Structure 1
Amino acid sequence: MESSYTIVIADDHPLFRNALFQSVNMAIGDANLLEADSLDALFSLVKAHEDTDLVLLDLKMPGANGMSGLIQLRADYPNLPVVVISANEEPSVVSQVKAHGAFGFIPKSSDIKSLIGALNQVLEGEPYFPDISSSYSQEHYELSQKIATLTPQQYKVLTMLSDGLLNKQIAYELNVSEATIKAHMTAIFRKLGVKNRTQAVILLQQTETEH
């Protein structure tokens, strides 16, 4: 395989970044590998390197809240393949990642052989996801699909609601008016099919499994 790929490894753990670095080199040879340890650093790299072929993204990084990093990447760079590499391998997380348009999901527990196989598959243009159908309900799948209809800003508002912030605090954090937040809320409730913030937060929490 040609070694002309530009790949961004976005993970805030240096040891894991190093392990990924070695695995990518073993999979595809002398790639141009860039590293980011936060969401801001990731977006700066992608902006500076328009020829980026792939982003390997950890969900839990400074600046990221839940799926927010993935959602923002998909919104800003819809043609850039993003593969999530996460320690949280719950079916609900894999399903959400898929619903939000990721090109793949690689569990951090994967051995080197599996990791190299997954990377090769992705770089050949084939999505890679572990099989979750046997232990995953249709209800959870539909929940993930609903959450995936939210815009990046709506998702941010929902995660802030989940953290217990008031409209006024969310407006301050996002540097917008309270009226804008209320408009976002209306749209969020409509998309999720709920009537109030409590129901919206419960829906979000049902799709997330914290470790």
Structure 2
Amino acid sequence: VADLVVLEADSLDGVLSILESEADIDLVLLDLHMPGNHGLAGLAAIRAQHPGVAVVVVSANDDPRVVRRALDHGAAGYLPKSSGLDELRDAIRAVLACEQWLPATLRSAVARTESSSSDADLAARLASLSPQQFRVLTFVAQGLLNKQIADRLDVQERTVKAHLSAIF
């Protein structure tokens, strides 16, 4: 592919920064255990702040329940780290064609795994937040005070409070 550009980040903050600065990103391969990513929090952040970007979760964990949770939180695909180049190529092609992708070895097990209604509800609620509301929620989860959040976002403290009211 002649116009393919690959960008790398070593943390979730790096991924989010690249997504903010590069408007034409179509796909993110997201490591569930990269620095700053706590479980599915990174996936939720990307889906909330950049809903047009497809995310394929990459993980050494191939437990069907974990895969199901990632899909429920908006992953377009799930790629075990043990996958070969052919599976990586197939996953990228499928996801860029707007299809969901799982390796053949996981499809039936994941299909038998029921979605958790609480996961689906949480994913829907997170997806309903604006990007700024999601950023505020992320800072709250990190233990920051309203004033600290306002300073980081370069907004008034009352704006942070308004976002929190909308979130609640």
Distance in 1 between residues matched to 2:30 and 2:77, nearest whole Å: 10
CA distance 1:142–1:154, change in 2 (3 Å): farther
Equivalences for residues 128-139 of structure 1 within 5 A: 128-129=101-102, 130-131=106-107, 132-134=110-112, 136=113, 138=114
- 1:10 alignment partner in structure 2: none
- 1:192 alignment partner in structure 2: none
TM-score by length of 2: 0.70
Q: Unaligned regions of 5+ residues in structure 1, if any? A: 5-30, 158-169, 188-211
- 1:79 alignment partner in structure 2: 52
- 2:66 alignment partner in structure 1: 93
Give SS of 2:8's match.
strand
Q: Deviation above 4 Å: which 4+ runs of structure 1?
A: 152-157
- 1:21 alignment partner in structure 2: none
What whole-Å deviation, never above 9, does each CA across 1:6-26 have from its counterpart, x for those lacking one? xxxxxxxxxxxxxxxxxxxxx
- 1:173 alignment partner in structure 2: 143
CA distance 1:107–1:59, change in 2 (3 Å): same
Count of aligned residue pairs for this structure pair: 140
* Bigger CA radius of gyration: 1
Equivalent position to 1:144, from 119, 133, 147: 119
Give SS of 1:149's match.
helix
Q: For residue 59 of structure 1, report the CA deviation from its aligned partner.
A: 1.2
Q: For residue 41 of structure 1, report the CA deviation from its aligned partner.
A: 0.9
CA distance 1:76–1:156, change in 2 (3 Å): closer
Distance in 1 between residues matched to 2:70 and 2:37, nearest whole Å: 14
Equivalences for residues 38-57 of structure 1 within 5 A: 38-57=11-30
- What's the C-alpha RMSD, in Å, of the aligned pairs? 2.8
- 1:116 alignment partner in structure 2: 89
Distance in 2 between residues matched to 1:171 and 1:108, nearest whole Å: 29
Distance in 2 between residues matched to 1:111 and 1:143, nearest whole Å: 33
Distance in 2 between residues matched to 1:52 and 1:76, nearest whole Å: 13
CA distance 1:155–1:147, change in 2 (3 Å): farther
Distance in 2 between residues matched to 1:155 and 1:147, nearest whole Å: 13
Q: Unaligned regions of 5+ residues in structure 2, if any? A: 127-133, 148-160
- Residue type at the aligned position of 1:62: P
